[in-house]
Chain A
């Protein structure tokens, strides 16, 4: 058992050599958005790929290490690889652009969004992944995004039937309440010997 663990750690350490997160993209996203961004934008673990925690290289199984090596060889775009240290956005970037282009873009992180394109929206929150990158929000969490963009998208998304029914129910409730108030007014005014006296005048 100890030998297996030692081998696993050895393999992990070897695989870890030369494995780098690309902080240029993180720095650029943080700079243009003003929001704090960490490695979790593209990686499984928020502290990046190197380490022994879940989602980091040191924790990968032999099968996952095989996937990692295949992903590292995906220099051209369109290759169907799944890097276990990357999240869905990281893998989508790899698949769309290929590793060669990503390495080139490290020198021009401002071009990443345009190169990736604005069609993909992994979390389905209505904000394209590329915009999420520029706005420093999480591209794989529908609860996180630029507030105004999320609000307007969700307003449209839930306009019918959710919001329509809610607004209708509230309007009907208020209408009923208003009529009830009028009825009380009329009833009390009829019952009052001095209309307009304290308690019934508004």
Chain B
């Protein structure tokens, strides 16, 4: 005889994973997409998925030449860029699409929040989406080290140092945990071969498999529940997911690919940075100026440079906890309030990403 708690759990799971909808008819033939002023936001998740496909295909091609050793990693990346036919294009496509993927994932999260798409019964879809966002950041962090150039190694050192520093603010034995996590990731005293091997394993095996599994769960969940209503006043205008929405999605993918291909062909990502940052890392040499993480970490990097560490740690913990608890914390909120909060979050992300350096210079004098 199942207890009341077990029954509650079974009911919860049955509502989140309605197996009766697990049919071709329900998942494909009957699926409808609402049409309203925010309907464009339904395409953002698909664009992020498309960028992931580009990441997979270009990443696989890069694997043919990349060598994950501290002595050869940089030279192999240089070889890809300068000697392999189409190597520079593939590498630039990998870099541009990684940035685009993070951009679309963030935009997808913000718009999903504004549209209250986390409402019951979509809590698990939301949570899996937040984990996917974190995995995407992990992809960025681990991939950044692989070329083994100055900015890669030094920025990774700074990132790992931040993890260890968190231990200073934790009580008792708990304070040792961040240091142990750092050691686990780093694998040796300083960032070296063990770190590169671990980041490589994470970037090309562990994270892709984890992401694929979670992505499968996320997409299945989306298909089972259908697209969320999206606006406060329900619309009776809809279009069939198959074929209309899907074909429009593919059209957008085509345009997205065109834009990324042109950027990859004509505008090397590295051209935005000072060239000494891309010289091979030399542990005994001088460290060039301008070491900083990828642009998508600026929203936490610049505040970290300006404000006390404990404050950023506290704010990050609250923000992350809030993200996971969103379906319950914001259950009573209407979409107008959510849209306001989403706009504020987007504004913060844009301002810190675009003007973070200026804000830093304003308070600290110079970069």
Q: Is the CB of A46 within 8 A of B247?
A: no
Q: How many whole Å from B95's CB to the nearest CB in chain A?
A: 11
Q: Which listed segment binds B: A34-42, A61-69, A78-86, A114-122?
A: A34-42
Interface: B189 (CB within 8 A): no
Residues of chain A with a CB closer than 8 A to B236's CB: 198
Q: Is the CB of B275 within 8 A of A170?
A: no
Provide the bound-state CA to CA distance between A88 and B275, in Å: 16
Q: Is the CB of B278 within 8 A of A144?
A: yes
The residue in chain A whose Cβ has the minimal distance to the Cβ of B289 is: A36
The residue in chain B whose Cβ has the minimal distance to the Cβ of A35 is: B274
A144-B278, A151-B267, A166-B261 known; A180 vs B288 contact (CB < 8 Å): no
Which range holds the interface residue count of chain B? 35 or more
A36-B274, A37-B274, A47-B286 known; A151 vs B247 contact (CB < 8 Å): no
Q: Is the CB of B88 within 8 A of A177?
A: no
Q: Is the CB of A158 within 8 A of B266?
A: yes
Q: Is the CB of A154 within 8 A of B265?
A: yes
Against A, the Cβ 8 Å flags (1 = close, 0 = not) of B222-254 are 000000000000001111100110011011001
Closest 3 CB pairs of A and B: A154-B266, A138-B275, A36-B274
Provide the bound-state CA to CA distance between A141 and B77, in Å: 14
Q: What is the total of A-B residue contacts with beta carbons within 8 Å?
A: 110
Interface of B with A (CB < 8 Å)? 32, 35, 81, 88, 236-240, 243-244, 247-248, 250-251, 254-255, 257-258, 261-262, 265-268, 270-272, 274-279, 282, 285-286, 288-290
Interface: A186 (CB within 8 A): no
Q: Is the CB of B257 within 8 A of A170?
A: yes
The residue in chain A whose Cβ has the minimal distance to the Cβ of B257 is: A170
Provide the bound-state CA to CA distance between A150 and B264, in Å: 12
The residue in chain B whose Cβ has the minimal distance to the Cβ of A146 is: B271
Against B, the Cβ 8 Å flags (1 = close, 0 = not) of A117-150 are 0000000000000000000111001011111001
Contacting residue for A167 out of B258, B274, B289, CB 8 A: B258
Q: Other than A35-B274, A38-B288, A199-B239, give 5 A-B pairs with Cβ distance below 8 A.
A: A37-B275, A144-B271, A158-B266, A174-B251, A174-B254
